[in-house]
Structure 1
Amino acid sequence: MEEDQIKNSNAKLALKTSFKSVKTIDSIYTGGKVLITNDESLLITTLNEDIEVTELSTGKKVHRLEGDTEIITTMAVKPDGKHLISASRSLQMRIWDLSTGQCLRTTKAHEAPVIVMDIDHTSTLVATGGADGIVKVWDIDRGFCTHVFHGHRGVVSAVKFHYMHGQWYLASGADDCEIRLWNLQTKKCLGVLQSHVSVIRGLDFSSDGRTLISGSRDKVVNVWDWQTKELKTTYPIYETLETVGFISKDTDLSAYDERWQSEELFYTGGDAGIVRIWSLKTGQQVQAQEKEENSKHTITDVIYSRKSQFLAAVTNDQNILIYSIPQQLNRIKQIVGYNDQIVDIAYIGPEETHLAAVTNSQVLRVYNIETQDCELLYGHQDMIICVDRSRVDGTLFATGSKDRTARLWKMKHNEENKEITYTCVGVCIGHTESIGAVALPNKSTHFLLTGGQDRTIKYWHLDLKNDTKKPRALYTHQAHEKDINTIAIAPNDKFFATGSQDKLVKMWSVDTGELLGTCKGHKRGIWSVQFSPVDQVMATSSGDRTIKLWNVRDFTCIKTFEGHTNSVLRVDFLTAGMQLVSSGSDGLVKVWTIKTNECETTLDNHTEKVWALAVRKDQKYIASAGADSVVNFWEDITREEQEQELREKEEYIIKEQDLQNFMHKKDYLNAILLALSLEQPYRLLTLFRTVMEENDQPNTITGNQAVDTILAELGKQNLEKLLDYIRDWNTNAKHAPIAQTILNCILSSHSSEEIVELTNAKEVIDGLLPYTDRHFQRLDDFITQSYIVDYTLHAQES
């Protein structure tokens, strides 16, 4: 038992030298159309000029469909989920196979970009509406246009198929404020519906097929009897609408008032950023989602899923918010499409299963690392700059913002329904400029330290048991001459350090705020400071491209680490204080060993500045994030690599012994194959020399029939390897006769076509030809074979 504990202790303290990126949180949506397949298995989003296909439940990437360098204007997915149709500004319409991610067909659709699409419920036809004012209908599988409808005098902004009494119809709306109805059998316009005074943004037909509703940016929903072309009623919505649609009558409405359960309902979404459900009969609002505090987003589209009965709101800040209709529009899931620059991160939760990310936004994102589900925490009124979490249990964390406030958040886990909720439990108000640094203690949750552009540090007393929403600042000190970028609290909670753009690091008493000392030496601003978990030292990183280690007793510099080619933005301790991990503006993450001053490894999977680092408590994983909007999770694989290296050494020793045994027994078959696998050309040369010197069987090429047979039966990989060795042996007059003999055996038993197919054939033959005349006894045979090979090679190249 004691031996196991010692082994585990040694394993934990072993220097970390190898990491690999095991997971990333990446952008999947940068604006535009969003789709969810009918079976809810796939989420389809536009990512710049490409299309990203991901699993809706897990966030796992399925396909990236590469575009044609032009922005995707719209897309639609078949109800059966087999194909995706997309259109871009290049005027090309593409059909994709969703099972393979392959483009099946490309067609020029309109003379101007396609703006909207709709596919009928049989997955046969797709309707396209273009900026040229034309509506077209296409046969998807056979790839030809079946209908062309002219009439709109502006950009077509909405299309909707309708099937009723064995007849196919199509409704279209445009920015000419008109709705046109088309009969697909007669290919004629049935009528024009006029009432809106702005662009039509949504069309849908009721379950009985008799009613058409239209939503417009004129802030009203019109209800039409489309067969008689009469406007039945107009409902004011009081917001600029971007989408409208009916909700199925089989939806579970048991949580709603009984009067709504038998009525036809429809939903809307628009610039107010709220999903609402309305009664078709009365126009009365039935339900609205709860508005998030300080949220400023608008809704660009709403996706209705009949299967799981939810409404997915697509927002202008590239998020997808999913609301459950049976749960009275309670938000059940959030999908973050785009993170912008990630400037800070922190592991949170008792088991550090979640990651809080600060992303150039007033909204804090909290990711479930395993599933990549994301919770959006609203509250700040301006961009969040920093985040820190309590080391006590990881459920308390704090954020600092440009709105001059710091907010305290509490993570709560409901054991009954397994749900995790986040609550703002305090707002610290008092700074006069942006807050650039926050720090929570290591052993308690009694205080918070903040610093910012007003150059002051504040100590906030926290009384979470009494649920105080506005903590008190017990002291405020003018700390630096320039912005404060970082604050770190010592492991014993008695001291803290601050780093500033004034190039100084200062150490303070937590209890009184008294200045204890100043560290001078950096030539640029300080970006990060951290205390060692075991020694009385602290590490700082700076814009001068260096990391420095300081003695906290006399504030002298102990060591300086150089290696980054640009500003070092973050630093933290690893391996019980024996190592450091840093990240910089050069896009690299580096791991350093303090004792030797050496960089053990460089982790390179970012394309921009790496602003943030977070080390998990068990130090098995490091998270890095930066300006490329990507979070990388790096796993420590040092132990696995060492074990693998040990296994390889053991296998090598065993094979070495086996090789000696085979040679002793004259088991040439296994000896040659083993020497090739061990990549030991000298041992192989010695083996061939021994065989040729013994020359037991004079009528053979090598002197041994078994060796001739082995060389004749060599596989492609071993043949390539042996030819390389022969070329090298042939450059030495001492070894050339053996090389030519083995080559003769190979060329006698392998056809020129077989040799030509080898990847290294030309290099080998070119290397051998200059030495042939001097060393090859059966010259005619070799020249014939060699020139056949050479001739074949040149013929293939030409």
Structure 2
Amino acid sequence: MGLTKQYLRYISAGNFNIIASQNCNVVFITLEGQEGRFVAVGACEHIVIWDLRLGEKAQVLPGEKAVVTAICASPNKRHVAAGYSDGNVQVYDLKSTEVISIFSGHRSDVTTLVYDSYGHKLASGSKDTDVIVWDTVAEAGLCRLGGHRGAITQLAFMTHHSVLISASKDTFVKFWDLDTHHCFKTLVGHQTEVWALSVMKEDQYLVTGCGDAELRVWKLSQRDHDSEQNPVEHLASSLELTILDDTDDPTHPLQCHKAGSLLRGGRGRVVSMFSDASGQVIGCHGTDMQIELFQFLSEDDAHVRMKKRLKKERKKKKEENMDTDQQEQLTDNTTIQLSLRDEVKRLPSIKLSNKPKSFDLVLGNGGELRVAANLSNNTLELYTIQSSVKDTEPSCLRSIMNQGHHSEVRAVSFSSDNLAIVSGSGESVKLWNRPSQICLRTVTTEYVLSTIFVPGDRHVLAGLKNGKLIIIDIAAGDILEEIPAHTNELWSICLQPDMRGCVTGGGDKTVKFWQFELVVDEKSESKAKVLSLLHTRTLKLEDTVLCVRVSANGKFIAVALLDSTVKIFFVDTFKFYLSLYGHKLPVLCMDISADSTLIATGSADRNIKIWGMDFGDCHKSIFAHDDSVTGIQFVAKTHYFFSCGKDGKVKEWDGDTYDKIITLHGHAGEAWSLAVSPNGQFVVSSGADRVIRLYEKSDQPLVLEDEQEEEREQQEALATGEQTVIPGQPGLNLPSKKTVGSEKAVHMM
């Protein structure tokens, strides 16, 4: 049987808006022989390398579908390893940006990666509780280390021993002998999850951080082989240790003892902790907005600090009239061994502009310490501090923030010439150049729920959460006027078919019609005319308005209400025409086809319904998404339409045959909105992962049967357990049962 209908495939045309993912660490890398200038961050499925001197992207290491969850730079400074949410690990060549190795062994998200000092071994830890050591030269797995009962949080190789140390959420820290592949010691002194660890000062100390206010410091030492026990004593001590902890191996030469604690000033648990490559400086942060730094001093500097401390103590004791013999005894007792407070110096804390999610640090030859921090508001900051200078203060060298929104993007729209995209979030409206995907303008606003271009593409209308409608001169980057259009949320804006005005719908149960007009700007000296809106008519309804659309022929206006129905009225008289009822939960989005014959509605009940505009009959009800449908738009001059939902997926449908054409690679987390370009060539979507994704129509033909077969194979892999992770959907929780009351509560907040 031949093809009865041929579709063209939409393919990914780029991602923008994201500066750094929240669930991935940041790493300093060396490019062009320069250290401390470039950092690599995860940006959903890609790795972006930022030039912190110029504030621009230096490179993009492309991924496929899974999200980057961990990054590690190799010691030879030529490669970078990346762990993904599907459990794979890929090694990239920084010069060619190509993948040189792929390691598959984990069943869920890779949480941490670390190279050994030579770069010959790469260790990966995962949420599946396993640690795998890979041979990067032979490109094969060396061993799988199983023993933890919680997700692995951090790993560290020792420099002078064939030992790997692992921390986990099961509160244990384990030491693994890589020659025999067994655990010879387990630290059980932590009461809560161990979130981070670092090996410091040439394998002399181990620092661990958990859920309390202190960093525990452990002294690592070699067993003295000269003082060997006799067999009977050895057996007795072995039996005694086995009773205490059956994982400890008393015959292993490496020993670990508690040395002390470093008190943190930050609040909350240790979120992340990293040290520089030399193991001299360690930094950590909690749930507040600061990074605390500690420096492990050299032996000479530590002795100088100890002498100063002893001098102060002797002076203090002298004031307390201590006799000479006691002073000499104090000196003899305290000079036997250095204490932890002599060896560790607290550096000034770095105060950040927002909560950090991850950071990395590098120590220069002159004692200059550079710290790069990935913040929770989609921002990168670079700080410098002179560790060798007393009472020095950290200074911010660079902040990368204008290249993306600082909160989730809730609305996107295309310009009439298909060249520009406008996006609105909780704090700003941004204008993007579609071909280059560069941010052209940023206008600071309040919380934006809806956006649309005014005909002519010079101005943008944005509906705010407080009900205001703002007019933005996007060319100048200024807000021309703030109109108190509604008293509650302004959920929806659409243009009238004659392009002379717009229609808004809000939470105050009204739909308002507005007319564009030019008024003289009294503020400017030139008295130039600027765009304004004139309120002409108001349609009052019985419930909150979630979405409004006007048919292309200008006859009808469709209004989606919080009572789960869609009411259709005549535009000229506001006379009631049709009521579309059948959704079990409120309709969040809808669109009318260009020939005004079909209306598609998407609801929180996960269904899309296609209705006829002539009689209001439901042509088809489709179970479309695994969560609420948040966006729908028809392709111009066709009955094809796109939808997005809180399950993160973006899908294309045929409104005539009711077939799903394709499921595009969507978002990690909820997808909030989408827009189709006027020429139908491009689709843009935004989501909770802070990414704005662009799709482009290609020349590749698409066969429905092949797409359905491929999707069926993916579902079978999930059902049989061959695949345990949904690609591109890390930690996605599918919804529990919804009710009308719960949905109303969401939109009444």
TM range (shorter): 0.5 to 0.7
CA displacement 1:587-625 (0-9 Å, x = unmatched)? 863335xxxxx4396414269999866333333345678
2:590 corresponds in structure 1 to: 528
Amino acid at match of 1:330: I
Does residue 457 of structure 1 match 2:519? no
**Higher strand fraction: Structure 1 or Structure 2?**
2
CA displacement 1:355-408 (0-9 Å, x = unmatched)? 7488xx7787988777888999795665x5433334534x64444354434455
Rate the CA distance shift 1:210–1:523 in 2: closer, same or farther, 3 A. Answer: closer
Rounded to whole Å, the distance in 1 between the matches of 2:502 and 2:95 is 37
Farther off after superposition, 26-35 or 39-48:
26-35
Q: 1:352 aligns with which of 412, 419, 436?
A: 419
Amino acid at match of 1:195: L
Compare CA radii of gyration and give the structure with the larger one: 1
2:539 corresponds in structure 1 to: 478
TM-score by length of 2: 0.54
The alignment yields a C-alpha RMSD, in angstroms, of: 6.0
Count of aligned pairs between the two proteins:
538
**5 Å matches for 1:640-651?**
none
Does residue 614 of structure 1 match 2:675? yes
Does residue 434 of structure 1 match 2:489? yes
Q: 1:23 aligns with which of 5, 8, 12?
A: 12
CA displacement 1:635-671 (0-9 Å, x = unmatched)? 3659x799xxxxxxxxxxxxxxxxxxxxxxxxxxxxx
2:292 corresponds in structure 1 to: 221
Query: Would you say the 8 A contact 1:487–1:498 is kept in 2?
Result: yes
Rounded to whole Å, the distance in 2 between the matches of 1:486 and 1:478 is 14
Rate the CA distance shift 1:85–1:236 in 2: closer, same or farther, 3 A. Answer: closer
CA displacement 1:186-223 (0-9 Å, x = unmatched)? 64559434433675556566798766566566867354
Rounded to whole Å, the distance in 2 between the matches of 1:479 and 1:209 is 68
Rate the CA distance shift 1:88–1:206 in 2: closer, same or farther, 3 A. Answer: closer
1:702 corresponds in structure 2 to: none
Query: Would you say the 8 A contact 1:621–1:636 is kept in 2?
Result: no
1:540 corresponds in structure 2 to: 599
Query: Would you say the 8 A contact 1:58–1:372 is kept in 2?
Result: no
Query: Would you say the 8 A contact 2:428–2:442 is kept in 1?
Result: yes
Does residue 386 of structure 1 match 2:444? no
CA displacement 1:689-725 (0-9 Å, x = unmatched)? xxxxxxxxxxxxxxxxxxxxxxxxxxxxxxxxxxxxx
**5 Å matches for 1:22-61?**
22-23=11-12, 32-34=23-25, 38=29, 40=40, 42=61, 44-45=68-69, 50=87
1:118 corresponds in structure 2 to: 156
Rate the CA distance shift 1:272–1:613 in 2: closer, same or farther, 3 A. Answer: closer
Rate the CA distance shift 1:588–1:215 in 2: closer, same or farther, 3 A. Answer: closer
Query: Would you say the 8 A contact 1:201–1:214 is kept in 2?
Result: yes
Deviation of the 1:505 alpha carbon:
2.2
2:383 corresponds in structure 1 to: 277
Rounded to whole Å, the distance in 1 between the matches of 2:662 and 2:278 is 59
Deviation of the 1:172 alpha carbon:
0.9
CA displacement 1:506-542 (0-9 Å, x = unmatched)? 3546xxxxx465432534577534473xx7x464334
Rate the CA distance shift 1:38–1:462 in 2: closer, same or farther, 3 A. Answer: farther
Query: Would you say the 8 A contact 1:613–1:624 is kept in 2?
Result: yes
Query: Would you say the 8 A contact 2:412–2:421 is kept in 1?
Result: no
2:146 corresponds in structure 1 to: 108
Does residue 172 of structure 1 match 2:207? yes
Deviation of the 1:479 alpha carbon:
3.6
Rounded to whole Å, the distance in 2 between the matches of 1:210 and 1:74 is 21
Rounded to whole Å, the distance in 2 between the matches of 1:58 and 1:244 is 26
Deviation of the 1:93 alpha carbon:
0.7
Q: 1:92 aligns with which of 118, 122, 130?
A: 130
2:33 corresponds in structure 1 to: none
Rounded to whole Å, the distance in 1 between the matches of 2:461 and 2:471 is 5
1:504 corresponds in structure 2 to: 567
Higher RCO structure (Cα 8 Å, ≥6 apart) = 2
Rate the CA distance shift 1:376–1:193 in 2: closer, same or farther, 3 A. Answer: farther
What SS class does the counterpart of residue 329 from structure 1 fall into? strand
Rate the CA distance shift 1:24–1:138 in 2: closer, same or farther, 3 A. Answer: farther
Rate the CA distance shift 1:92–1:590 in 2: closer, same or farther, 3 A. Answer: closer
**5 Å matches for 1:67-466?**
72-76=110-114, 85-95=123-133, 105-110=143-148, 113-119=151-157, 126-131=164-169, 135-136=173-174, 144=181, 148=185, 150=187, 152-154=189-191, 155-162=193-200, 167-175=202-210, 177-180=214-217, 182-183=219-220, 187-188=254-255, 189=257, 191-196=259-264, 221=292, 223-226=294-297, 227=299, 228=302, 229=340, 230=342, 232-233=345-346, 235=348, 246-249=361-364, 264=369, 266=371, 275=381, 277=383, 279=385, 280=387, 281=389, 285-288=393-396, 325=397, 328-331=398-401, 345-348=412-415, 350-352=417-419, 354=421, 356=423, 385-393=449-457, 396-407=459-470, 427-440=482-495, 448-458=502-512, 459=514
Rounded to whole Å, the distance in 2 between the matches of 1:607 and 1:207 is 37
Deviation of the 1:438 alpha carbon:
1.1
Amino acid at match of 1:454: D
Deviation of the 1:632 alpha carbon:
8.1
1:635 corresponds in structure 2 to: 697
**5 Å matches for 1:757-796?**
none
Rounded to whole Å, the distance in 2 between the matches of 1:371 and 1:57 is 23
Rate the CA distance shift 1:202–1:530 in 2: closer, same or farther, 3 A. Answer: closer
Rate the CA distance shift 1:38–1:625 in 2: closer, same or farther, 3 A. Answer: closer
2:236 corresponds in structure 1 to: none
Rounded to whole Å, the distance in 2 between the matches of 1:270 and 1:85 is 26
Query: Would you say the 8 A contact 1:59–1:372 is kept in 2?
Result: no
Rounded to whole Å, the distance in 1 between the matches of 2:112 and 2:543 is 49
**5 Å matches for 1:532-611?**
532=594, 537=596, 539-542=598-601, 547-548=610-611, 557=614, 562-565=619-622, 577=637, 579=639, 581=641, 583=643, 589-592=652-655, 598-599=656-657, 602-605=660-663
TM-score by length of 1: 0.51
Uncovered stretches (5+) of structure 1, i.e. residues with no partner: 1-14, 251-260, 289-324, 413-420, 510-514, 551-556, 593-597, 643-798
Deviation of the 1:548 alpha carbon:
4.9
What SS class does the counterpart of residue 508 from structure 2 fall into? coil
Rounded to whole Å, the distance in 2 between the matches of 1:373 and 1:52 is 30
Amino acid at match of 1:196: R
Query: Would you say the 8 A contact 2:348–2:393 is kept in 1?
Result: no
CA displacement 1:472-497 (0-9 Å, x = unmatched)? 663562343333343446779x8883
Amino acid at match of 1:453: G
**Higher helix fraction: Structure 1 or Structure 2?**
1
CA displacement 1:100-128 (0-9 Å, x = unmatched)? 99766421154654322235789986532
Query: Would you say the 8 A contact 2:272–2:284 is kept in 1?
Result: yes
**5 Å matches for 1:709-724?**
none
Deviation of the 1:433 alpha carbon:
1.9
